[in-house]
Amino acid sequence: MSANDVKLRSKSGSIAAYSALVYVVVIFFSILAIIPFWYMFMNATWDTFSIQTGIKLYPNFGNLIGQTKANWDYLANRSTFSFSTGFTNSLIITLSSTALTVYFSALTAYGLSVYDFKGRKTIFTIIVGVMMVPTAVNITGFYRLMNTLGLLGTRWPLILPAIAAPSTVFFIKQYLDTSLSKEIIEAARIDGCGEFRTFNSICLPIMIPALATQGIFSFLGSWNNFFAPSILLTKQELKTLPLMVGMLYGDRYTDYGAINIGLSASVLPIMIAYAFLQRYIIQGVAAGGVKE
């Protein structure tokens, strides 16, 4: 065996060992990410006493259907919980805010990427700076503004602000800078295509991977939002599903089985949506990182 063959085998062995280590690390962290959800789903099949006596990482084989149904019946009979109402409110707010976030953020990013005007870099710097401001800092002023406008206690305070999404603008602009050819825009203008038509007919299809990625993130963030709805939604019939589940902790007697099945019902729709749409995240990140 020649020295080159020995080096090649040694190198191949090192690559195989490194790949195996990477797989082990990825699998380990994947399990860590899955365990809380698995624990929640398993607890949904047990009663409160069993949950309090120890960690349950397996379903209630002895009374799986009966106990799960009992937990759901207890949850459904609570005056502060209505799955259909909470699900409908969450869906309306989430879909509306996601649509506004994706479209207007794409429009803003298009303007910052395509048009060359004075102050463009300053505006983009301000947008990046706003990304660093947490929601809790401006919630008091926003609450007073919504109260002055008479919008407090409605869905609008959770929908309209989605028009301004700095992080989404930042991501889509970075994507456009690497994926959008300015020659296409110039050709459309020469052919007599208006600016909005150019954006809607030519640029939006090019942005689909980025729009899908940010749409998923926006959907998940809006669906799981608990802080803002707990302050802005004062009417019981307008409360979102996570908010209704969170209100169960205020009872004198806390039924942990019912709470876990409520959390499972709240999380399951977005887990299903993410499972079907996760490939768009990979496509969006990969496409945004390649310079053509």
Q: Which stretches of the chain are DSSP H helices? A: 3-43, 48-53, 64-76, 83-114, 120-131, 135-149, 156-159, 166-179, 182-190, 195-198, 204-206, 208-223, 227-232, 241-246, 256-288
CA 172, 178, 182, 185 dihedral sign is negative
Q: What is the CA radius of gyration of the chain?
A: 25
CA distance 196 to 174: 21
The pTM assigned to this predicted structure is 0.81
Q: In the prediction, which pLDDT does 270 show?
A: 79
Q: Which residue has the tokens 């309209």?
A: 160
Q: Determine the average pLDDT of the residues in 195-211.
A: 85
How do the domains of the chain map onto residue ranges?
A: 2-76, 83-246
- To the nearest whole number, what is the mean pLDDT of the chain? 83
Look at 83 and 285; give whichever has higher pLDDT: 83
104 phi/psi in degrees, rounded to 5: -75, -30
Q: Which of 102, 253, 255 is nearest to 167 (CA)?
A: 102
| Assigned fold of 83-246 | MetI-like fold (1.10.3720)
The percentage of residues in the chain with a pLDDT greater than 70, rounded to a whole number, is: 89
Of 8-12, 139-143, 194-198, give the lowest mean pLDDT range.
8-12
**Residue 7 clears pLDDT 80, i.e. is over it:** no
Q: Which residue has the tokens 């990013």?
A: 109
C-beta contacts of 269-276 below 8 A and 24+ residues apart: 269/87, 269/223, 270/219, 270/220, 270/223, 270/224, 271/37, 273/216, 273/219, 274/216, 274/220
Q: Which residue has the tokens 């799960």?
A: 68
**48-57 pLDDT tens trace:** 888 888 888 8
Q: In the prediction, which pLDDT does 115 show?
A: 85
CA distance 214 to 268: 20
Q: Which residues contact 203 (CB under 8 A, 6 or more apart)?
A: 106, 110, 176, 180, 185
Q: Determine the average pLDDT of the residues in 157-186.
A: 87
Pair of tokens at residue 247? 């209100």
**Residue 28 clears pLDDT 90, i.e. is over it:** yes
**244-278 pLDDT tens trace:** 888 877 656 678 888 888 888 888 877 877 777 77
Q: In the prediction, which pLDDT does 290 show?
A: 47
DSSP state of 191: T
CA distance 96 to 153: 17
**63-119 pLDDT tens trace:** 888 888 888 888 888 877 888 888 899 999 999 999 999 999 999 999 888 888 888
Confidence of residue 284 (pLDDT cuts 50, 70, 90): low
**Residue 291 clears pLDDT 60, i.e. is over it:** no
CA atoms within 13 A on the CB side of 206: 22
**208-238 pLDDT tens trace:** 888 888 888 888 889 988 888 888 888 888 9
Look at 111 and 290; give whichever has higher pLDDT: 111
Q: In the prediction, which pLDDT does 61 show?
A: 85
Confidence of residue 281 (pLDDT cuts 50, 70, 90): low
